[in-house]
Amino acid sequence: METSQAAFGGRSFSGAEMDLIHGVVERCGGLSRMELAHTVCELLQWARPGGGLKARECREFLEVLDARGVLRLPAKRATKPVGSTTRVPVSARGEPAARLEGKVGAFEPVVLEPVRSSEQRLLFRELVGRYHYLGHAVPFGAHLRYLFYSGDRVLGAMQFSSPAWRMAVREGWIGWDESARRANLQRVVNQSRFLILPWVRIANLASVVLARALRRLREDWQERYGLEPLLVETLVDESRYSGHCYRAANWLRLGETTGRGRMDAEHRREGVWPKAVWVYPLQANAAQRLRGRG
């Protein structure tokens, strides 16, 4: 049964949209209020004409709903004092290291570690900011980040976060209708960053790390957010990368994006070019379950 409609900030929210908001808040209890607001904005495409999310307005709306008893938000988190800065430890600066070459077996065990400590967060930020072509961006909404190591030598980094709002080839492969998409989109996880450091030239490392990350992602995601992921997706810029490691790790190439940005409601593209869409079902019946409404 759908929740009653609501309106805020010049926007009306249907009963289905209110159900989605309630589900995000209920299932993603590990997020801060602002992270919840960004997640809701992304899912509902609540954005300014220039494409920026209306996260501040959304947070205010969520707090109004909380005050009315419609939903329960997490407690407010303490913020840093005004003017405070973060000092990057020497070990977290991501300076280039000696070249590593050979077969992956010579560097085993290759271990993935979830990013938890402040030093790991700083190291992740430095590595991705310096060496990934998209740079580092704070992931809003649900996300998990990993660093992978051989002994004490860091080899690269990986990030999983909220899925793309719409992708025609993904929607076609799943075969869901709009109601099922809204209900189950949070069960799709996007691999939004994958970095092997430029001085690391280890044969088959990428496919090995991908396979190991997927084996633990389902458990880690469910433990943190209380929601079982069913499908992992990623976008590959084939002008830069072949995507061979995804094929070697048994991902499926579905096709290409239209070249629109995720908030491009007016079909303007504005420098965003098509990318290859790859997916990995975490269960054999992932598409069937995503089509459901339970």
Q: What is the pLDDT of residue 265?
A: 43
Q: What is the pLDDT of residue 98?
A: 86
Q: What is the pLDDT of residue 202?
A: 95
Q: What is the pLDDT of residue 270?
A: 43
pLDDT in tens, 32-62: 888 888 888 888 888 877 667 788 888 889 9
Q: What is the pLDDT of residue 84?
A: 36
Amino acid at 58: C
Positions in the chain whose pLDDT score sits under 70: 1-3, 29, 50-51, 78-94, 140, 259-272, 293-294
Amino acid at 45: Q
Q: What is the pLDDT of residue 268?
A: 45
Q: Where are the domains of the chain?
A: 6-67, 90-291
pLDDT in tens, 147-177: 999 998 999 999 999 888 889 999 999 999 9
Q: And the tokens for 174?
A: 């799943």
Q: Which CATH class is domain 90-291?
A: alpha beta
Q: What's the CA gap between 196 and 141, in Å, rounded?
A: 24
Q: What's the CA gap between 169 and 173, in Å, rounded?
A: 6
Alpha helices in 28-86 (DSSP H): 33-44, 55-67
Q: What is the pLDDT of residue 177?
A: 93
Q: And the tokens for 287?
A: 């598409």
Q: C-alpha 136: how far from its chain's center?
A: 13
Q: What is the pLDDT of residue 142?
A: 84
Q: What is the pLDDT of residue 3?
A: 63
